[in-house]
Amino acid sequence: MAAIEPMEQFMIQKIVNIPSFTIPGVGVVDMSITNSVFFMLLTAGLITAFFLACAKRQLVPDRMQAMAEMIYGMVDNTLTGGIIGDRGRPYLPFVFSLFMMIAMMNILGLMPGGFTVTSQLAVTATLAVMTFALVLVVGFAKNGLGFFKLFWPSGMHPAMSAFLMVIEMISFLIRPFTLALRLFGNMLGGHVVVYIFGSFVVGLGLFGLSGFGLNTLGLLGSGLSFAMVLALTALDFIIALIQAFVFSALTCVYLNEVLNLDHGH
Contact 151, 168 (CB under 8 A): yes
SS3 4: coil
Instruction: Read off the pTM.
Output: 0.87
Q: Where are the domains of the chain?
A: 28-263
DSSP class of 77: I
Residues β-bridged to residue 23: 27
CA–CA separation, 223 and 93 (whole Å): 46
| Helix (H), strand (E), coil (C) string for 117-182 | HHHCHHHHHHHHHHHHHHHHHHHHHHHHHHHHHHHCCCCCCHHHHHHHHHHHHHHHHCHHHHHHHH
Nearest to 94 by CA among 133, 40, 53, 124: 133
Strands (E), the chain: 14-16, 21-23, 27-29, 33-34
DSSP class of 191: H
Q: What is the pLDDT along the chain (265 residues), one digit of tens a residue?
A: 455 677 777 888 888 888 887 888 777 777 888 999 999 999 999 999 998 888 777 677 788 888 888 999 999 999 999 999 888 899 999 999 999 999 999 999 988 888 999 999 999 999 999 999 999 999 999 888 888 888 887 777 778 888 888 898 999 999 999 999 999 999 998 888 888 888 888 888 777 777 666 566 778 888 888 898 899 989 999 999 999 999 999 999 999 999 987 665 4
β-bridge pairing 33-34 and 27-29: unpaired
DSSP class of 82: I
